[in-house]
Structure 1
């Protein structure tokens, strides 16, 4: 077991929860200002707020949703690498780089949110994840 791969995983978990708090601290006051009658505030989904709140208020929520998507593959990949004992400096560095890119992606999406930069950050982090997964597969096949 390579425990040196666990800190990047837990860092991304904590970052995801920070984004949840960021989302709530923007959305809750914005919703309160709308003074929506209680009978209209029932049910619905988070993305329904895209129609009633300003775009910038929803950006952290969009990012939080993104952090519940691809990073789940990161968690599985890195935990598999840890179980396989594949905590090489390369894999640890790739894991930390992935986390750093996801944090930068979050900050960018929640504040500036221009698509070309955001897409570049996403694709670069995806490439790192692909390399991590390939390293994991090779490690598993050679185990």
Structure 2
């Protein structure tokens, strides 16, 4: 088993938890000041806060949700690669993926212009595609 590739996955997990804490740290005070009617305080979902609290507050929640989406494929890919082995460049690709996701998070949480955010997403998707192909090739 090649466990070095698990380190980038562990870092991305920690980063996801950082984003969760950041989201809570900005969202909970915003909710306290939002004047949400009593009848709408139960059973709500995160989407219900669109237009209720500032978009800049919601950006952290949007990014946290994104970290629960595509990176799940990254985690699966990393586990496959750790079990079957991987060629040169794959470990570096895993670190590049994590770096791009962190930059994507910071961009979305702080600036959130779509062209840059999309470019970061596209680049990380291409890196993940490379890793997935390497994982497939290592298993056949």
**Bin of the TM-score, shorter chain as denominator length:** over 0.9
Shift of 1:83: 0.7
Give secondary structure in 1 for the equivalent of 2:16. helix
Task: Give the alignment's Cα RMSD to 1 decimal.
Answer: 1.0
2:60 alignment counterpart: 60
Shift of 1:51: 2.6
**Map of 1:137 onto structure 2:** 136
Q: 1:51-130 residue pairs with structure 2 within 5 A?
A: 51-86=51-86, 88-130=87-129
**How big is each residue's C-alpha offset from its partner over 1:25-59, in whole Å with a ceiling of 9 and x where there is no partner?**
11000000123344321001111111311111100
CA distance in 1, matches of 2:124, 2:106: 14
Gap runs ≥5 in structure 2: none
Once the two structures are superposed, residues 64-94 of structure 1 have per-residue CA deviations (whole angstroms, 9 ceiling, x without a partner) of 00000000000000110001122x4411100
Q: Which whole-Å CA distance do the structure 2 matches of 1:83 and 1:95 have between them?
A: 15
C-alpha displacement of 1:137: 0.5
Q: Deviations over 1:70-127 (max 9, x none)?
A: 00000000110001122x4411100000000000000000000000000000000000
Larger CA deviation: 59-68 vs 32-41: 32-41
Q: Secondary structure at the match of 2:85?
A: coil
> Which whole-Å CA distance do the structure 2 matches of 1:85 and 1:135 have between them?
10
Q: In structure 1, how many angstroms separate the alpha carbons of the residues matched to 2:106 and 2:88? A: 27
Residue aligning to 1:9: 9
Between Structure 1 and Structure 2, how many residues are aligned? 140
